[in-house]
Amino acid sequence: MPVISAPHAFNEGHLYVDLEPVLGCRLYLKCEGFNFAGSIKLKAANEMVEAAEREGLLTADSILVESSSGNLGVALSMIAASKGYRFLCVTDSRCNLSTRLLMEALGSDVHIVADLDANGGFLGKRIDYVRDLCASDERYVWLSQYTNAGNWRAHYRTTAPEIAGHFPRLDVLFIGAGTTGTLMGCARYFRQWHRPVRIVAVDSVGSVAFGGEPGRRMIPGLGMSMRPPLLDESYVDEVIRVEEADTIRTCHRLARRGFLFGGSTGTVVSGATDWLARHDTRGLTAVAIAPDLGERYLDTIYQTNWLQDLYGEDLLDSEEVPAPSRRAVNRDRRGEH
């Protein structure tokens, strides 16, 4: 095992779960939650902070500020604590309580936005708050995960090559869409690879990232209430939108087999299993990316009262996850690879 002196120096990127015994379909799940930040967001946070340091944007007096639904906030809290920076996370009421407490335990300040934006989400109001803060005090440095190229470059340099090294015959890759940093980094890498890889983006119903009508979204992580500035749809072959009820059922199904994952992972796995059920998977190598683990969701998607209040008492009645109805957008661009 390595000996480290900084928490961001450790990140296990080579762990995969074979989900066939659990789900009955051939799917490998890349687990990104085994680091001190607990999620894939550590990669983007580290890339963006180091770039800001190289460019001289961060000084001893700087105060990092970022809008985050949770996981990036934790990653930046950890890095800021390690490097001696102050950090303010601007989040909203959907942020899990355990996530907020974790950021505060690491010494960060947390501001919660309560007002909705024009699309019925909180993102627009969170960004407005950050912009006003930066305009009022030059000490604040906003990394802007939504527009920062370091967000996707982190996954171009790390996540995608890790997958390619384990699965040289990869056919299809399922990636959750939030800021689309992971999606764009991996898609750009595999566009240049030695064989075509179908890139399937998995989004939440109610998100407007790929168009469509905005709707209620209670699970933080995936989905956006605005079009992600980093998104280039020419790299995406297909989009699957998953209902939150199916996300929760999938999380509980995995938990019944001992795998406690977060809401983003439940969404990606739900979308992937639906896609695989509709396609001929003989000889197909399929990988999905699990952004985080489930401990931070114990008071939400794994809490009975929370589930019943929002989704009704019958949500988890079935022991098996039903074949859900999903809306898929096909973009057959395999010839462009």
Distance CA 226, CA 76 (A): 23
Non-local CB neighbours of 20 within 8 Å, separated by 6+ positions: 26, 27
Q: What is the pLDDT of residue 328?
A: 52
Tell me, what's the pLDDT at 1? 61
Is residue 334's pLDDT more than 50?
A: no
What is the average pLDDT across 238-250?
A: 96
pLDDT recorded at residue 135: 95
Residue with tokens 């040289």: 168
222-249: average pLDDT: 95
Measured over all CA atoms, what is the biggest interatomic distance in the chain, rounded to whole angstroms? 58
**Mean confidence (pLDDT) of the chain:** 91
**Residue 177 pLDDT > 50:** yes
At 223 the three-state DSSP class reads coil
State residue 319's pLDDT score: 45
pLDDT band at 213 (very low <50, low <70, confident <90, very high): confident
Average pLDDT, integer, range 14-27 = 96
Tell me what pLDDT residue 238 has: 98
Of residues 273 and 94, more confidently modeled: 273
Residue 119, pLDDT score: 66
Residue 318 pLDDT:
56
**What's the whole-number mean pLDDT along residues 47-56?**
97
Nearest Cα to Cα of residue 251 among 212, 300, 205:
300
3-state secondary structure of 298: coil
Spatial separation of the C-alpha atoms in residues 260 and 270, rounded to whole Å: 15
**pLDDT value of position 123:** 84
Residues 291 and 264 sit within 8 Å (Cβ to Cβ)? yes
User: Of residues 331 and 190, which shows the higher confidence score?
Assistant: 190
When pLDDT is averaged across residues 169-174 and rounded to a whole number, the result is 98
- Residue among 261, 253, 259 at smallest CA distance from 324: 253
Strands 286-290 and 172-176: parallel
Confidence category of residue 127, pLDDT binned at 50, 70, 90: very high
Compute the distance between CA of residue 94 and CA of residue 227 in angstroms, rounded to an integer: 20
What size, in residues, is the chain? 337
Q: Is the pLDDT of residue 320 over 90?
A: no
Average pLDDT over residues 80-97: 93
Question: What does the alpha-carbon distance between residue 261 and residue 135 come to, in Å, rounded to a whole number?
Answer: 39
Q: Which whole number is the average pLDDT over 39-48?
A: 97
pLDDT of residue 262: 95
Residue 239: how many CB atoms within 10 A of its CB? 22
What does pTM read for this prediction? Answer: 0.92
Q: How confident is the model at residue 313 (pLDDT cuts 50, 70, 90)?
A: confident
Provide the pLDDT confidence category of residue 88 given band limits of 50, 70 and 90. very high
Torsional sign, CA 242, 75, 29, 254: negative
What single DSSP character describes residue 334?
G
Report whether pLDDT(322) > 50: no
- 251-299 pLDDT, tens per residue? 999 999 999 999 999 999 999 999 999 999 999 999 999 999 999 999 9
